[in-house]
Each structure stands twice: as structure tokens, then as C-alpha cells.
Amino acid sequence: MSEFDPEKFEDKYVHYFPELQRAYKNAFETMNDAYDSELIHAIDQQILNESEPFYEDGEFRIELPENPTERVTAIIVDDEKLEQTLDIYLDEIEAELERVFGLTE
């Protein structure tokens, strides 16, 4: 992998698609091992499938589609549990992006 270039991240799917796939996959595997797999699959397929990673001000962030918790219809889950798990999942994706791109200290 070449050195991370924040300007190239604007065209992330052209320059960094394999790295993005790896980061999301690693985060999914970590979350799937630690939390309810049905919930993790629902979040992955019904929320994160339309998420968008960005790199701004030296940090990664994940932009979610509108009304993300309302999108989960594959399982019955308490809103609070869904929101907490989604927050943890987003933190894990951001951490994986940092690891994959070599930005961790």
C-alpha cells in the first residue's frame, strides 16, 4: 500500500477501494465476534451499506444515511441497544480505517 494521501481520499473509491473494504470487513468481524451477530448483520446490511467514510481535519468519520435506526427492520431490537451498538460499530470502523491506512501511533 502506498502512503495515505488525504487529497486522494476525496476520490476514495478510485484510490483506496481495497483498503476501505478491508477496514469495513475487519470492523465487521470484530463486532460480529463481540456482539449479537443478528444485530451486527442488520446494522451492516441496513445502515452501513449506505454509509460514507470521510477524512477531515486529520480524522475519519462515517456519515450515515438519514434516519439510520429506522432502517433496521430485519430484527426486533430496543432503540437504545441499537444506537449504542451502532456507535461502538462506527468507532470500530474509524479505528480500523486508521490502522489500515497506517495512521495509528
Using pLDDT thresholds of 50, 70 and 90, give the confidence band for residue 85: very high
> Quick check: 100 pLDDT over 90?
yes
Alpha-carbon span 103 to 72, nearest angstrom: 32
Average pLDDT, the chain: 94
Alpha-carbon span 73 to 15, nearest angstrom: 34
Alpha-carbon span 74 to 59, nearest angstrom: 32
Mean pLDDT over 62-91 rounds to 95
Give Cβ neighbours of residue 98 (< 8 Å, ≥ 6 apart): 60, 104
Using pLDDT thresholds of 50, 70 and 90, give the confidence band for residue 3: confident
CA quadruple 25, 31, 37, 41: dihedral positive or negative? negative
The rounded percent of the chain whose pLDDT value lies above 90 is 92
> Quick check: 90 pLDDT over 90?
yes
The rounded percent of the chain whose pLDDT value lies above 70 is 97
Mean pLDDT over 54-80 rounds to 94
